[in-house]
Structure 1
Amino acid sequence: MDEIESTAPEKIRDRLKPIQDGTFRFACHPGVSCFTECCRDLNLMLTPYDVLRLSRHLNLSTTEFLDRYTDVVVAEGSPLPAVCLMMQENDRRTCPFVSPAGCRVYSDRPSACRTYPLARASRKHRVHGTVLESYYLVVEDHCRGFDEPRTWSVEEWIADQGLEEYHRMNNDWMDLVTHPAVRQGLTEKQIPMYYMASYDLDRFRAFVFESRFRHMFDAGKMDVERAREDDSALYELALAWLKFFLLGEGPLRPKDRP
């Protein structure tokens, strides 16, 4: 467990347990005595795809969502600004989207909520480009879900929680933010651009289509115009821009100008 012990937030490191024989017992439903207990007092980091999905669920722009529901923090062990879901200001510090009946944004809940009670460690092989991943159980004392009889394999849990799409969308961004050159830190000029292109995709869309961006950069085979209406294309373009802006890599290239 060396890799995840060194990268997981310190708060959960002593709760990580190996998954024996590739299966685990767990279920969460209103009949479990601790139902929604895990939806409070969280340091819940959001990925860019989490922000995009939640903002669309709430019919907000990414800018409005970020202003209303998040704090910007520097995560433990990272030099990069990150977005953390802001808890409510009550005595239990509950999630802004939880209710007695459960999660009010369940169909678009964040990656971390979907993954729980698992923790995922992933990295991209620098030579072959394949994603290498491993999973561990996050065993918390209050959780009675582990007493339930339902048995899962990791693969079954991933499919049941709709994690395939989240992993696909998160993997390239995680590969970028864990790149050695990025982990060394960003300049004052790079940080605002990194934040906008990672999290505030509606503002990034305005940057692309209301500036000289398309006149200055060649996107190769990427269809930049699709990003005007298509959020998936916008997300892909934002990642391509970050790879160019931070690393000088990827499909984007400056156009030859007189």
Structure 2
Amino acid sequence: MSKSHVDISVNDSPFSESPVVPTLLARDKKISFRCYKGVKCFNACCSNIDITLTPYDIIRLKNRLDVDSGQFLQEYTVPFEFEKDGIAGVKMKPVEGGTACRFMTEEGCSVYEDRPTACRYYPVGMVSMRKQDEYTDSNAYALVEEEHCLGHQEDRTLTIDEYREEQGLFDYDEYSRGWRQLILKKKSSGATIGKPSLRSRQLFFMACYNIDQFRTFVASDGFQQSFDIEEERMANILLDDVALMLFGFDFLKHVLFGEEQIKLKEGVMEQRLAKDRAILEQRINQKVAERNVDADIEPFDLS
């Protein structure tokens, strides 16, 4: 792949450990594949999982299980970091002491209608890319052929796009595009902005993965008093998980990359600057006092 590209694989598991660089394919490329209960390898891929979850995956699964996002994250996932970019990711937690998916049964997936993006894509992998001199991102695909998978031997041919449609991936991809763009932005900026602060990493994790906690944050007085959001839009954001998730992507672009995605209320910036100024003055004066500076020296004033 050209060095002018930055990429992230949504279902990164087969490629991260493989020394072979996958050949990227267009969406009209035809593949031979079929997975069903009668195939001899049925459930083999679910017996040894490495599933990265997207924000939309988490919404679908936590609603399917009727738990809030905090409980879902605690019970069903483990956090990880995308390479060394300081960007948090979430993986599905396997069964205790094993590698199998907790939702695997003899009949197949017990949450099939709400299964994650990576499960829907397999054996196809999607790679999102963005050239450093371009604003928009693009997608390509790769075919994963593992020895245990016999689905490639089935007598059925379809294009990658036809397979994506069959697996219900169009909505999944569209809803998680903002999340992929955030990761691409951080990867492409690299050392330019350095590793995000602890506060920034916490905001990213909350807005992307802990959607119910993010709802409480957005509904707080501090947030409401700071951002100028139309009443109708705010009501929709607070009621709808997907709308809140998409708003969260805009919020993170605003906070992490300085993109003016959300309008501040009049006077908020001036108030923040005044508050920062007062805090800085207080810290300076505290340092002066701690060093036992001559009593004749007056407190420091930035004005």
- In structure 1, the residue matched to 2:170 is 164
Q: Following the alignment from structure 2 to structure 1, what is the Cα–Cα distance between the partners of residues 216 and 81?
A: 26
- 8 Å contact kept, 2:24–2:140: no
Match of 1:219 among 208, 219, 229: 229
Structure 2 SS opposite 1:158: helix
Q: Following the alignment from structure 1 to structure 2, what is the Cα–Cα distance between the partners of residues 39 and 4?
A: 29
- In structure 1, the residue matched to 2:81 is 74
Match of 1:177 among 166, 180, 183: 183
- Gaps of at least 5 residues in structure 2 are 272-303
Structure 2 matches for 1:78-89, cutoff 5 A? 78-89=85-96
Give the superposition deviation at 1:195: 0.5
- In structure 1, the residue matched to 2:62 is 55
Give the superposition deviation at 1:77: 5.1
- In structure 2, the residue matched to 1:102 is 108
Aligned length: 257
Instruction: Quickly say closer, same or farther: Cα 1:70–1:95, change in 2 above 3 A.
Output: same
Give the superposition deviation at 1:170: 1.1
Structure 2 SS opposite 1:178: helix
After TM superposition, the structure 1 stretch with the greater mean CA deviation from structure 2, 172-181 or 122-131, is 122-131
Instruction: Quickly say closer, same or farther: Cα 1:42–1:245, change in 2 above 3 A.
Output: same
Q: TM-score, normalised by structure 2?
A: 0.77
* 1:141-183 deviation line (CA, Å, top 9, x unaligned): 1100011001110110011011100110111111112103478
- In structure 2, the residue matched to 1:146 is 152
- 8 Å contact kept, 2:228–2:263: yes
Give the superposition deviation at 1:192: 1.0
Give the superposition deviation at 1:210: 2.9
- 8 Å contact kept, 1:74–1:81: yes
- In structure 1, the residue matched to 2:256 is 246
Match of 1:41 among 48, 56, 72: 48
- 8 Å contact kept, 2:6–2:129: no
Instruction: Supply the RMSD in Å over aligned alpha carbons.
Output: 2.7
Residue 96 of structure 1 aligns with an amino acid whose one-letter code is R
Structure 2 matches for 1:188-203, cutoff 5 A? 188-203=198-213
Instruction: Quickly say closer, same or farther: Cα 1:34–1:146, change in 2 above 3 A.
Output: same
- In structure 2, the residue matched to 1:208 is 218
- Give the % identical residues: 31
- 8 Å contact kept, 1:220–1:252: no
Q: Following the alignment from structure 1 to structure 2, what is the Cα–Cα distance between the partners of residues 163 and 6?
A: 17
Q: Following the alignment from structure 2 to structure 1, what is the Cα–Cα distance between the partners of residues 214 and 24?
A: 40
Residue 45 of structure 2 aligns with an amino acid whose one-letter code is C
Give the superposition deviation at 1:140: 0.4
Q: TM-score, normalised by structure 1?
A: 0.89
Q: Following the alignment from structure 1 to structure 2, what is the Cα–Cα distance between the partners of residues 75 and 100?
A: 33
1:137 paired to 2:137: no
Structure 2 SS opposite 1:249: coil
